[in-house]
Every structure is written in C-alpha cells, then in structure tokens.
Amino acid sequence: MSDIKNLTPKENEIYQLLKTVMDPEVNVNIVDLGLIYEIEYNEEQKTIKVIMTLSTRGCPLGDTILQNVQVVLEANHAGYKAVVELTWEPQWTPEMITEDGRMAIEGF
C-alpha cells in the first residue's frame, strides 16, 4: 500500500487516472480535492485498492463517486478487481485541496 507521496510508477498511473473522476457538486476531480489517501496495485492478485475519503460524511453523491472510482479503474485495467475503501481518518479539510483544485473551484 502506498500513500500518495510514495507511489510506484503503476500506482502513479492509477493516481493520474483518478483525475478523471469528478465530484459533481463542485466539478473538481477527486485527486485535486485531496480525497485520495492511498493506492495499492497488486499484480499477483489482480487487485487495485484505493483508500479515500469524502469532503463530508453526509455527501449526497458519495456512493456515486465511489462507484465511479471502481468503474474507471476496472474499465482501464481489464481483469482487475477494484476495491474502494472509504475512511474518515484523517478527516478531510479544505487544506488538502491542491493548487489546481483551488483554481478550478474559483472558476466554478
């Protein structure tokens, strides 16, 4: 399992792919919102595990976002099972938003 600061090349590829998954409420991708905490690519077991959070526990589109992560990963990695795990630790804060995310929100 790699946190987002220590990704393998394959995990970095997955991280970049996750930028295609948007939070529909703010129209910013989940990576730039700081919602992705860890990624694990296991070639032997043919699994991709993502540990992520949401901006709030009551996020009305949370299930949709999690499902979109799974669909994007499995569509781009044939034969792999995507496991998306939701966590609330550490708690998400606006400081986790990247500079690109901040610019996108300001333009929203």
This prediction's pTM: 0.92
Q: pLDDT tens-digit profile of 27-48?
A: 999 999 999 999 999 999 999 9
pLDDT confidence band for 106 (50 / 70 / 90):
confident
In this structure, what token pair is assigned to residue 24? 């529909």
Q: What is the DSSP letter of 87?
A: -
Kindly state the tokens that stand for 96.
Answer: 């986790």
- What structural domains does the chain harbor? 2-102 (3.30.300.130)
The two three-digit tokens of residue 65, written as one number: 């976002």
- pLDDT tens digits, 57-88: 988 899 999 999 999 999 999 999 999 999 99
Q: Which two tokens stand for residue 25?
A: 């409420």
